[in-house]
Chain A
Amino acid sequence: MLEWFNSLFRLLLGSVRDLAPIVLVIAFFELAVLQQSIPNLFSMIVGLLLVLLGLTLFIQGLEMGLFPLGESMAHAFARKGSLLWLLLFAFALGFGTTVAEPALIAIAEEASEVAAQANFIGKTAEAQESYAFGLRMTVAISVGAAIVIGVFRILKGWPVHYMIAGGYVIVVIMTAIAPRQIIGIAYDAGGVTTSTITVPLVTALGVGLASSIKGRNPMVDGFGLIAFASLTPMIFVMLYGILI
């Protein structure tokens, strides 16, 4: 029990260090530059304590739950040796974690407004809704595809930089031909797809796979899945913009 408290205390201290920069930034700009007092100081302190406690629990749970589970599943898939199931799992993980992502839903809605204002699609609510839904599905499928490609790469041991650099070349070419309104959204779609729970899981999956396959180095081959997940949405969304 004492040990448990000790480790919790150490984690809490770590979280204090993690949060110190943003708190200092806000305090400095508010007090020294804008020269205002901090509104609702008490409620702010309560909120900060919640953030602190939440971050500490999250990190603790990460090491107890998400990392071990992701890695043990990766090992189990490697032992099972069924490529089809592994790739299905990869796709489901990418698609399933993205399709319900709140940031993505927000961006898709805003994008449908941009498109309606630019007379891309009809100005009816129905047309906007179907455009937003299509965009969401496009991004979710692209993330699923990204994890599949990334897992396949780990199995084959292909170097990641050729694939990513090739992907960027495609992004550059597509930027030239895609409608201008979709470009900002497409670039942002790459950034919003990777949520706080997806990242540790996907990282553990990649690292677990790379460490259970002979001849793969977890550092060189295990990372890179998230890079694919932020690259393919750009390509797919621009393609969506061209086709619609």
Chain B
Amino acid sequence: MPGLDTFIEVSLDTLRDVFPIAAILMFFQFAVLRKPLANPRRLMVGFVYVFIGLVLFLIGLEQALFPIGRLMAAQFTDPAFVGAEPGIAVPWQDYYWVYAFAFAVGFGTTIAEPSLIAVAIKASELSGGAIGAWGLRIAVAIGVAVGITLGVFRIVVGAPIHYFIISGYVVVVVQTFFAPKLIVPLAYDSGGVTTSTVTVPLVAALGLGLAETIPGRSPLIDGFGLIAFASLFPIISVMAYAQLAEWRAARATENSKESPDEI
């Protein structure tokens, strides 16, 4: 059970995080803008909700999800589970459960990521529902899942990280020319959004566990870098999602032109 001391500790940590932001906002609001805020009471209540919500969220994660997630990451990357003999490299296919776990964790944590929910709400509001909040979040989650799986594969085979990242960037640049213009900034943003509270701790545990298990990998060099994969691939998947939606819409209008009775 979370005791009062954990509650106080997490509250203080969160307060330390929130304090600089609140100080900056207050300084500019009261010293520079000097305009009264509309509905200040509602704003204050909103801030208190954000604060308490974040504290409870973090305490709950630390109690329910992170310990078991870290433990499972350690178990899946354990040489005994993979079937490795000490000192002998295992063929990369034998890590299949690790890939499956990486994919599933990447997807699941991204759907639960609060900052992605925030951006998805804004995007669906601004686009008048054309970009659905759920569609966007699922597209991002698939991107993170693929990215982390690929990142895990890279740690297993030991290929240099920049080959993957640079080819990813090339795909992004090429896609940018063909994707609907409306989605491009949002797609770029979703790269940075995905990697925060929920995803990073679990993914980092997976990367470090794997780098420790596989002979010849250094936890400090190879353990890093999974987050880079997780922020690159959502850009690709979100643009692909928009391209797919555009293509389907175009095909639908074509079909309706040809046979207006059949819909």
Contact = CB atoms under 8 A, between A and B. Distances in A.
Contacts of B51: 61
B38 A72 contact: yes
A173 to B, nearest CB: 10
A145 B192 CA distance: 16
A192 B227 CA distance: 8
Contacts of B197: 195-196
Contact of A66 (B13, B17, B50, B225): B50
B112 A19 contact: yes
Nearest to A117: B220
Interface stretch (B85-93, B102-110, B255-263): B102-110
A113 B220 contact: yes
Interface of B: 1-2, 13, 16-21, 23-25, 27-29, 32-33, 35, 37-39, 42-65, 68-69, 72, 75-76, 97, 101, 104-105, 107-109, 111-112, 114-115, 117-119, 121-123, 126-127, 141, 161-162, 165-166, 169, 172-173, 176, 181-182, 184-186, 188-189, 191-193, 195-198, 200, 220-222, 224-225, 227-228, 230-231
Given A43-B1, A190-B228, A227 B172 contact: no
If over half of A's interface residues share one DSSP class (helix, strand or loop), that class is named, otherwise mixed; here it is helix
A110 interface: yes
A95 to B, nearest CB: 9
Contacts of B55: 54
Given A18-B117, A161-B176, A50 B63 contact: yes
Interface of A: 18-19, 21-26, 28-30, 33-34, 38-39, 43-69, 72-73, 76-77, 80, 85, 89, 92-93, 96-97, 99-103, 110, 113-114, 117, 160-161, 164-165, 168, 171-172, 175, 181, 183-185, 187-188, 190-201, 203-204, 207, 218-227, 229-230
Contacts of B108: 21-26
5 contacts: A29-B104, A50-B64, A102-B13, A161-B176, A161-B185
Given A30-B72, A102-B17, A207-B126, A194 B185 contact: no
Contacts of A221: 185
Contacts of B172: 165, 168
Which of A19, A26, A188, A201: most chain B Cβ within 10 A? A188
Contacts of B188: 160-161, 164, 223-224, 226-227
Contacts of A102: 13, 17
Which of A48, A63, A196: most chain B Cβ within 10 A? A196
Contact of A200 (B2, B115, B200, B228): B115
Contacts of A92: 24, 27-28
B169 A194 contact: no
Given A44-B64, A172-B169, A100 B16 contact: yes
Contact of A199 (B46, B68, B118, B225): B118
Which of A76, A184, A193: most chain B Cβ within 10 A? A184
A73 B28 contact: yes
Contacts of B52: 54, 57
Contacts of A56: 53
A104 B216 CA distance: 27
A29 B62 CA distance: 19
Contacts of A160: 184-185, 188
What 7 pairs across the A-B complex have the smallest Cβ distances?
Answer: A65-B46, A47-B64, A61-B49, A64-B46, A54-B57, A50-B60, A57-B53
A21 B114 contact: no
Given A69-B46, A200-B118, A223-B123, 11 more contacts: A47-B61, A47-B64, A51-B57, A51-B60, A65-B49, A96-B24, A97-B20, A100-B20, A161-B176, A187-B228, A191-B200
A60 B121 contact: no
A194 B126 contact: no
